[in-house]
Structure 1
């Protein structure tokens, strides 16, 4: 079982299965959310996630018109997880919240249309200008 948590430990996710997908996202919303040039994300089936602690929710409307509900710790401000209308059976979890350097590497890199030019990923991931189809 893997555990993700915020910086202060008040908001914790226990995950009973491995992620179904790992991805980097270069969209401007993720850049703003993380304060970094991209976000590193793991996606889990909702039925394998146990959430402990209180979160504050911020809902953002994406370019598609669909909503993403981001959950962050009201004490330390760490964004730990999110749920997107576009993928209702998945919970997205910030890979950094695992604090595990051996965590599975990303399989895909999305929204590279807004990727910083100096970010070089090579052939270790599948590259997508926007979102992959299907």
Structure 2
């Protein structure tokens, strides 16, 4: 089984995941825009097992449907690397940019399309949702 490693900019915080992503998506919600400092968040979801090395600072945010998301970022360089959802065991979402791999698979889903910046263009075959479909 193949593995991939994502890390923060300074390399102190890392996560190694196994296999192919369960899914790749982008989120245009205002919280993700503010959290990333970009116009959307690009995330890849993986099943356990995964291995984290280094120290992380955590921030918990409540989503629109009440779910608690625990974001982990590097306390040195500030890069967000991954997050988990409270109550959802055995799955992790990793920031696609933390893989630093321009050949990473493109997104399959785009959520909060109503918040997408008009100039952002995604592949035609992306499934689009006005808000969070869950």
**What SS does the aligned partner of 1:105 have?**
coil
Distance 1:128 1:19 in 2: 20
**What SS does the aligned partner of 1:121 have?**
coil
**Equivalence map 1:15-94=2 (5 Å):** 15-45=17-47, 47-85=48-86, 87-94=88-95
1:43-96 deviation per Cα after TM superposition (whole angstroms, max 9, x unaligned): 011x22111111000111122222110000011000000011364432110000
Which runs of at least 4 in structure 1 moved beyond 3 Å after TM superposition?
A: 86-89
Unmatched segments (≥5 aa) in structure 2? none
Question: If the length of structure 1 is used for normalisation, what is the TM-score?
Answer: 0.92
CA-based RMSD of the aligned residues comes to 1.3
Distance 1:4 1:88 in 2: 20
Unmatched segments (≥5 aa) in structure 1? none
Shift of 1:113: 1.5
Distance 1:65 1:78 in 2: 25
**What SS does the aligned partner of 2:31 have?**
helix
**What SS does the aligned partner of 1:33 have?**
helix
How many residues of Structure 1 are paired with residues of Structure 2 in the alignment?
Answer: 132
Distance 2:5 2:64 in 1: 31
- Find the counterpart in structure 2 of residue 5 from structure 1: 7
Question: If the length of structure 2 is used for normalisation, what is the TM-score?
Answer: 0.92
- Contact 2:18-2:46 within 8 A present in 1 as well: no
**What SS does the aligned partner of 1:19 have?**
coil
